Structure 1
């Protein structure tokens, strides 16, 4: 097992979840990202494996959002979060001041889907139940 794969396995063990395959691959190959994504020009940050535990244990986030795993955000107040209450876990956006899951705004069903759509759509700020036809 490589050092990075070992860190991923340790983080999964810490949180008691198995990360989705595309997120594991991202962590193993790219590690993290932090940049404005054109043409949407929204800022997208995905934390490194080393930052996961610290970010997720900050404040009382785990108490308000059991089953959550924050993996990044918009570089400000919004946190990109896996919702492990569902299988497979979708990615949602949560404001740091949110009190419960009702504030979650669906972003994508996978990291791959998010990264593919993000340059065009940027962040979704309203939860819509409509799916593309």
Structure 2
């Protein structure tokens, strides 16, 4: 097991989850992302692995959103999180000031799908039911 695999396993253990394989692959290759994505011109942040625990603890996200692991966001108020209450865990956005899960907005069923469609679609801002898998 590589040191990056070990670190991913440590972070997963901290949260009591197993990240989807495509996110694990992203962490092992690209690692993080922080940029405007044309042509949608929305800003996308995917946090570096070593920041996940601290970022999640700083906002007490597990208290407000049990089962959430925040992995990034829009660089402002919207947080990108896995919803581990579901299997497989979809990606949702949560406003930084939200009280609970009622404000979650489905973004994608996987990090691969999010990244594949983000340049065209950007962030989804309306609550819609996620597609059936």
Normalising by structure 1, report the TM-score.
0.96
Structure 1: unaligned runs, 5 residues or longer: none
Q: Is the 8 A contact 2:106 2:130 kept in 1?
A: no
Pairing of 1:35-114 with structure 2 (within 5 A) = 35-114=35-114
**Segments ≥4 residues shifted beyond 2 Å:** 129-132
Give the C-alpha shift of residue 2 in structure 1.
1.0
Query: Secondary structure of 2:127's partner?
Result: coil
SS state at 2:72 partner: strand
Unaligned runs of 5+ in 2: none
Residues matched between the structures, number = 132
Distance in 1, matches of 2:112 and 2:98, equals 26
TM norm structure 2: 0.96
RMSD of the TM alignment (CA)? 1.3
